[in-house]
Structure 1
Amino acid sequence: MLSRLSPRTWLLAAAVCAVLAAGTSLVYGGARVQPASWPQARPEPIALGRPPALPWPSHGQAAVAVAGQAGTLRVYGKQRPVPIASVTKVMTALVILRDHPPGGPSIRVDRQAAIESGNRDESTVAITEGQSFTERQLLELMLIPSGNNAARLLARWDAGSEEAFVGRMNTTAAKLGMKNTTYTGASGYEPTTVSTAVDQLKLARQAMKDPVLRDIVATARTTIPGVKGEIVNSNKLLALPGVVGLKTGTSTPAGGALLWAAHPTSGDRDRLILGVVLRQGEPGDALEDRKKAAFVASRRLIVAAQRSGWAKTR
């Protein structure tokens, strides 16, 4: 059949094929015809680990991203500054470790830190005046059971006063691009310390680069000489597969808050999925209920992100 085509028909067919192969349009009968797209000689690579549909909390703020993987940030809720409670201590630890790498002289518990041990309206650790602890031990007392008095003691030791230390916290926040964050204390007890979910993810990326901080926030329980009993981490999600941090926070002004870090359960297990939930729980809820709400919201996000294969190597 093909052998019966005239030379003129062959030439026309060859021209049409050339136009189609070039991906240009063709004028035929006064109308411009756009050829169908043709398969590429080298197909585009398929991007692994596309962002999943995340189960966001019903209110508050949240954000999730894969550390070191551009284009993965996902955000829920209006990003306006809100109280963050003890999530503040992540910045406190970061500044302390920047100013004083562990291994220096012991730190003496002053009278103020000892008196604050008896404060019943905040989270504290039982330490007494004259005791000495290493920097690492005080960081553990601050981050694991969330001791406010340990945070303020470290701030005074580092900068001479908590006020001066707060200045260093805000300077560090500015350098990290945390434009909607203001620190007014080292512990997070003050409701005037505010931030957003997006800003806290910026902090989490930097914090998890420090090996000492990373090791402490992944510690579920420990003991410290001079401190009675076992010290248990306030972050119950460390019991979940892959979860390696980061910090809880709960107060009446802040509600329930949780800054978390987790490795994927498949794919590139060295990657970190980072997330935060703020302002969890209802206004009339007890503090324990607000903390539970932060755990529930975070757990759903962690499991969804891990199962999606989001953090696979691209």
Structure 2
Amino acid sequence: MARTRVSPLAGGLAAAVAVGLAVTCWVVFPPEVAGRAIAARPDVDLSLPWPAQGQASAEVQGLGSLGSHGDRRPVPIASVTKVMTAYVVLKDHPLGPDDAGPQITVDEQAEAESTSPDESTAPVRAGRSLSERDLLALMLVPSGNNVARLLARWDAGSQEAFVAKMNREAAALGMTDTTYTGASGVEDSTTSTAVDQLRLAREAMKNPVIRAIVAKASLRIDGVPGAVVNTNTLLGRNGVIGLKTGSSTAAGGALMWAAESRGGALILGVVLHQSPGGTPGQGLRAALENSEKLIAAIQRELPAATR
């Protein structure tokens, strides 16, 4: 068979196309070096004080990515898990911005777990009815693990069935490096990445009920003694309006956060795996401190970068 001859011009064009495709693939699917992904160029390039350890990712809605930093492998996320729990509950049982929702009866298991010394809980009593909205607040604000599991049982019949829903939602959102194994985050086997949790933050902040609850520094709920205080102590500083803390020995400290820029844009970020291996309190302090530095720098640098 005669060999087909390719002209120099055609060969040059083919090579150029190949190079172009390679560059495109490098940007869209950045390569990995020793398990660490080389981040694609951010849409808004700022000089930011990214945490020295763990991983972080941030973006400005309407402008784009501010970049990601650190190891991209899945790590335990502790109570940041509860954002997905709230997302699934509200998808199955939607509430209007001012709706309280159906009354839910506290079961004996939720009361028994409320006195656990080994995890964060909310003081609920068996037989008492609380609204869906109040239970979401008890889960998200003081980070009640027992309430997260109560909501899971109410929604799906069992925590196991609810977790299957969580993982289906994660897959639907493109959270390919996320695995949920419980509704509260107490299990170290619930793992994710800052990039994946940032995808969830975008969706969570679209829900007016989640957005209103996570902005509360404290609140009072009928039938619950005293004020319920938010574990996110950054609220009200540097424009912070949410979202959710997490801490455990394995996870260290974690924070999914939302802030409003001086121009009104929504800034979202996630910081994970801060000071793991120590006490949960030490990890949470590190996550809050490092997040505050990052948020303050974004608020300071963003106006000049977007002129």
TM-score range, shorter chain: 0.7 to 0.9
Q: CA deviation at 1:105?
A: 2.4
Q: Report if aligned partners of 1:250, 1:291 keep a CA contact under 8 Å in 2.
A: yes
In the alignment, which residue of structure 2 is the partner of 1:93?
86
Q: Which runs of 5+ in 1 are unaligned?
A: 1-48
Q: Report if aligned partners of 1:50, 1:310 keep a CA contact under 8 Å in 2.
A: no
In the alignment, which residue of structure 2 is the partner of 1:280?
274
Alpha-carbon deviations, 1:207-244, whole Å to 9, x = none?
Answer: 00000000000011000010000000000000303101
In the alignment, which residue of structure 1 is the partner of 2:231?
234
1:5-16 equivalence runs, <5 A: none
In the alignment, which residue of structure 1 is the partner of 2:188?
191
Which structure would you say has the larger Rg?
1
Match of 2:296 among 299, 303, 306: 303
Q: Report if aligned partners of 1:256, 1:292 keep a CA contact under 8 Å in 2.
A: yes
In the alignment, which residue of structure 2 is the partner of 1:293?
286
Q: Which amino acid is the alignment partner of residue 252 of structure 2? A: G
Q: Does 1:76 align with 2:69?
A: yes
- Cα distance in 1 for partners of 2:136, 2:276 equals 31
- Cα distance in 2 for partners of 1:189, 1:282 equals 15
Match of 1:156 among 131, 153, 157: 153
Q: Which amino acid is the alignment partner of residue 151 of structure 1? A: A
CA RMSD in angstroms comes to 1.6
Q: Report if aligned partners of 1:66, 1:311 keep a CA contact under 8 Å in 2.
A: no
Q: Percent identity?
A: 59
In the alignment, which residue of structure 1 is the partner of 2:37?
none
1:1-314 equivalence runs, <5 A: 50-70=44-64, 72-102=65-95, 103=99, 104-265=101-262, 268-269=263-264, 271-281=265-275, 283=277, 285-309=278-302
Q: TM-score normalized by structure 1?
A: 0.80
Q: Which amino acid is the alignment partner of residue 272 of structure 1? A: L
Q: Report if aligned partners of 2:102, 2:131 keep a CA contact under 8 Å in 1.
A: yes
Q: Which runs of 5+ in 2 are unaligned?
A: 1-42
Q: TM-score normalized by structure 2?
A: 0.82
Alpha-carbon deviations, 1:76-114, whole Å to 9, x = none?
Answer: 012101000000000000011110023442000001101
Q: Which amino acid is the alignment partner of residue 249 of structure 2? A: T
Q: After the TM superposition, which parts of structure 1 deviate over 4 Å for at least 4 consecutive aligned residues?
A: 310-314
Alpha-carbon deviations, 1:264-302, whole Å to 9, x = none?
Answer: 12xx31x1111111110153x322111110011100110
- Cα distance in 1 for partners of 2:303, 2:201 equals 18
Structure 1 pair 179–115 and aligned structure 2 pair: CA distance change class (3 A)? same
- Cα distance in 2 for partners of 1:300, 1:80 equals 23
Count of aligned positions? 261
